Amino acid sequence: MDVFDNLAAGIMAVLTPGNMLLLLAGVMLGMIVGVMPGLGPSAGLAILLPLTFTMDPTGAVVMLAAVYYGAMYGGTITSVLINTPGESATVASTFDGYPLAKAGRAGPALVMAAVGSFVAGTVGAILISVAAPVTASVAATFGPPELFLVVVLGLLTLVVIIGGNRLLGALSALIGFAIATVGIDIGTGQQRYTFGSVELINGIDFIPVAIGLFGVGEILHTLWRGGHLEKLGYFNVSARSRGFWPNKKDYKESAGPIARGSLLGFFVGATPGAGATVASLMSYNLEKSVSRTPEKFGKGAMAGLAGPEAANNAASSGAMVPLLTLGIPGSASTAVLIGGFMMWGLQPGPLLMEQNPEFAWGLIASMYLGNVMLLLVNIFCIPAFASIARVPFRVLGPVIIVVCVLGTFTVNGSIIEVGIMLACGVLGFFMRRFGLNPAALVIALVLGPMAEESLRQTLIISGGSFDIFLERGTSQVLLAAMVVMLALPLAGKGIKKASSTAMARVGRKRRDDTDVDANAGEDREHDKVGSA
């Protein structure tokens, strides 16, 4: 009953004209950011964060959450229309989205993706309403040892699951931890790595780092690989054209993938470190494996677009569970959101939901309302957003740098922070170029102080002994999870083979059933012809 009361209170808190306007503005801004080449949700959130300084926390988080969802969907528009995903979470949407656009079905593809996102977002909001309080009540029993292990586990998951070079992923996280040690040591009050600068006494703020790595870094990388020369081949989409709306077959083909994608996406997204990219790719593979017509995948199968779209949006909701209940960001975007929480004076962690219920439930309530808003804006404004996707990078690149510089300056009015932001932009370029992971760096930067503080408290409790991690029941479970996570790359091939064999078996069975149905139909036709 508490859940309904809290949710109702959250909805009431969000349902003010001001917050509804912020929700609308957030969705629109998010979609604009999402369709801009070279900018993803994390960059968009980081750049737009300074706009929320003067707002109350609920209004600010309502707007930023809307930016987050809007940017996720904005990436789909570019994936479908110009075969360029705004960020990695929408890569899977290009596999069948672009072939659909090439076949003249861009309209149905985008509308179906919007419907899939809406359903998944709403399923995600319902699941988070149930899962968040349960997880929060478990997390509230965590002491410093468990909190420290959760932080390490979150980063470990990020490094192991995201793939690529795990060594460089771990190195990225360590660079984040190193940056987090700049400033005053909380335990002793001693300065570390400040080089006598007053500006560095409070440490390196994560906002310039995030804006630099995700905003400027992306722009520099796109410029380096010739984004300014790109001539975009795009498909027009108009709501007035006859073929804009999906037909019954599209809905029928997409219903199952959307349902599966929603559930898969939520649970994958709720795992710290996994996130929307993994969820959408898993969903694509799942749909292809269980499909009756796997040969259509990659050539314009609606199921190949609807499933990953649903999964990526549900994962965005799922990522809010560790964010709200443990204070652990599961992805770069949620790391920026957690930085926002701190900026608005909130303390992320297991007690956030208990101490700031109106904020936490306001955020959850905004997901329900935001999804409705997103669906309406999506469907009626697709052509308008599609035209933004056509603004060439050679104009957008310098514009985004100016927005990043002025946006960073407004945070604290500090020119040093603008310098840090630009330096992080250059670092972000090299990190992307050489396979390091900027998301791991930002997440470690946000979690660094929490890790150090919880480790310090743990060792105070234990009198300096690390045995405490082995003595407490919950710590043992978390340590076991870490061992499993470390063993996962070794067992990965076996698991992958077993799961793909199982999925292939399901797909084969479904195809056999279809053949039997089709043969039975043909037989009936023959009988009819024969009797005639």
Cα distance between residue 276 and residue 345, in whole Å: 28
For residue 153, the number of C-alpha atoms closer than 13 Å in the C-beta half-sphere is 23
Out of 12, 15, 21, 167, the residue judged to bind another protein by CB under 8 A:
167
Smallest separation (angstroms) from another protein to the CB of 478 = 19
Report if residue 482 touches another protein, rule: CB under 8 A.
Answer: no
Q: Which amino acid is at 283?
A: S
Smallest separation (angstroms) from another protein to the CB of 195 = 10
Site for another protein in 493-522 (CB under 8 A): none
Report if residue 51 touches another protein, rule: CB under 8 A.
Answer: yes
Smallest separation (angstroms) from another protein to the CB of 53 = 7
Site for another protein in 89-128 (CB under 8 A): 91, 94
**What secondary structure letter does DSSP report for 238?**
-
DSSP assignments along 151-205, one per residue: HHHHHHHHHHHH-S-HHHHHHHHHHHHHHHT-EE-TTT--EES-TT-GGGTT---
Smallest separation (angstroms) from another protein to the CB of 468 = 13
Out of 47, 77, 216, 446, the residue judged to bind another protein by CB under 8 A:
216
Nearer to another protein, 26 or 357 (CB): 26
Residue 110 parent element (H or E): helix 106-139
Size of the site for another protein (CB under 8 A): 75
| Interface characters, 407-436, with another protein (x: CB under 8 A) | x-xx--x-x--xx--x--xx--xx-xxxx-
Nearer to another protein, 85 or 370 (CB): 85
Report if residue 395 touches another protein, rule: CB under 8 A.
Answer: yes
Out of 76, 84, 129, 313, the residue judged to bind another protein by CB under 8 A:
84
Report if residue 403 touches another protein, rule: CB under 8 A.
Answer: yes
Nearer to another protein, 111 or 223 (CB): 223
Cα distance between residue 146 and residue 458, in whole Å: 9
E strand map for 301-452: none
Residue 489 parent element (H or E): helix 473-531
At 42, list the tokens. Answer: 């994390």
CA pseudo-torsion sign 255, 261, 267, 269: negative
Q: Which amino acid is at 449?
A: P
Q: How far apart are the first and last CA of the chain?
A: 65
Out of 17, 196, 464, 473, the residue judged to bind another protein by CB under 8 A:
464
Stretch that binds another protein, among 28-36, 46-54, 114-122, 376-384 (CB under 8 A): 46-54
Report if residue 326 touches another protein, rule: CB under 8 A.
Answer: no
Nearer to another protein, 256 or 298 (CB): 298
Smallest separation (angstroms) from another protein to the CB of 173 = 10
Are 273 and 152 a contacting pair, CB within 8 Å?
no
Report if residue 531 touches another protein, rule: CB under 8 A.
Answer: no
Q: Which residues contact 212 (CB under 8 A, 6 or more apart)?
A: 404, 408, 420, 421, 422, 423, 424, 425, 427, 428
Nearer to another protein, 193 or 380 (CB): 193
